Amino acid sequence: MSRKQKKVVEIRTSPHLKKAISVEQIMRNVVYALLPVCGWSVYQFGLSALVLILVTILSCVLTESLFCRLSGRPNSVGDFSVIITGMLLALTLPPGFPLWMAAVAGFMAIGLGKALFGGLGYNVMNPALVGRAFVQAAFPVAITTWTPGFTEGRFLEFIPSSLALPFMSPVDTADWVKSHAVDGFTGATPLALQKFEHVTTSTMDLLTGSVSGSAGEASALLIFVCGLYLAFRKMMDWRIPAAVFLGAALISGPLHLMNPEIYPSPLFVILSGGLMLGAMFMATDMVISPMTPRGVWLYGIVIGVLTVIIRQFGGLTEGVMYAILVANALSPLIASVTQPRIYGATKKGAES
């Protein structure tokens, strides 16, 4: 009785029940969903990929901690979102990307892409893509240097470029590639082959990831399955990747029909490059995508269409990153023009 009397009465307001799902839980599940993709990357590229992933995660975690200290906020590493950024960032980089540059990318991803805006929930663009965009601009050679996967001894030795010293001229990997590569490795990604040489990589190779490319975007099938897991757990909005694929197909389909020599089929567009990873794990980043039912479709279609336009008519082979960043910037506008009609609103009052 005395214990009861001492207890301070806490007055709560309704609702007094909570759904048993938290931010940490959502973020943790995204990490789970990304683990197989990371695992495949390590299997394919070996030690370099493993250390690359660890370095970006570590860099992101340290940056987050640093900025939390500087701004006097409680350390928010525990919400797992920073781990996701680290994983995603590594997956978009070439497997032999110099580790010090990866650390810089991680710092920029969290510092510039997230912390400056106020941390989780306040960023306006996907932090991982902000980090990648920075290193794309800063280190254009390193980020387009591809190395073959499945080399012998990949679990025992680094790709030489991984261990490049900061601010030294880029290590030339040509000799290493020549000595390790399976026959005919050109370093060209399926997108580059298609764009510049009009050689189409087989759908099977795209699905399984037996192609050249970034550390974690090679196996479209694996990424798709991992994304499905999140969609089924209702921790990812399935409409966004669906809209991205729809948008990509809407524009690449007619182009392909007009000139199949130059323009690849929608299936190739969807399975190649970073589109699958971008659509499943980056475009769906909750913080920077619109929430309105019509807004998510519009947002996804914008990403799909922009990706194809940049790929086909831009100077780069890859367009997903910029497409998503542009769509991120458009997201508030998209949200505001797609507010749903509220219950009981008259026609006149429906516009808002």
CB–CB of 81/27 below 8 Å? yes
Nearest distance, CB of residue 56 and other proteins, angstroms: 21
- Of 54 and 116, nearer to other proteins (C-beta) is 116
Tokens 């580790």 sit on residue: 99
- Of 254 and 293, nearer to other proteins (C-beta) is 293
SS3 (DSSP) at 216:
coil
Nearest distance, CB of residue 280 and other proteins, angstroms: 16
Nearest distance, CB of residue 344 and other proteins, angstroms: 4
Torsion (CA) 226, 231, 236, 239 in degrees, nearest 10? 120
Nearest distance, CB of residue 242 and other proteins, angstroms: 13
Dig out the tokens for 22 from the structure.
């938290």
Task: For the chain, count helices (H), then strands (E).
Answer: 16, 0
Q: How far is CA 336 from CA 153, 330, 331, 339, in A?
A: 53, 10, 9, 6
- Of 250 and 291, nearer to other proteins (C-beta) is 291
- Of 41 and 328, nearer to other proteins (C-beta) is 328
**In the chain, what is the straight-line distance between the N-terminal and C-terminal CA atoms, in Å?**
56
Burial of 77 (0-12, 13-18, 19+ CB in 10 A): middle
Nearest distance, CB of residue 152 and other proteins, angstroms: 44
Cis peptide bond N-terminal to 293, omega within 30: no
- Of 240 and 320, nearer to other proteins (C-beta) is 240
- Of 49 and 244, nearer to other proteins (C-beta) is 244
The contact set with other proteins (CB under 8 A) reads 1, 4, 7, 9-19, 21-23, 25-26, 79, 81, 118-122, 237, 286-289, 291-293, 296, 335, 339-346, 349, 352
Nearest distance, CB of residue 233 and other proteins, angstroms: 12
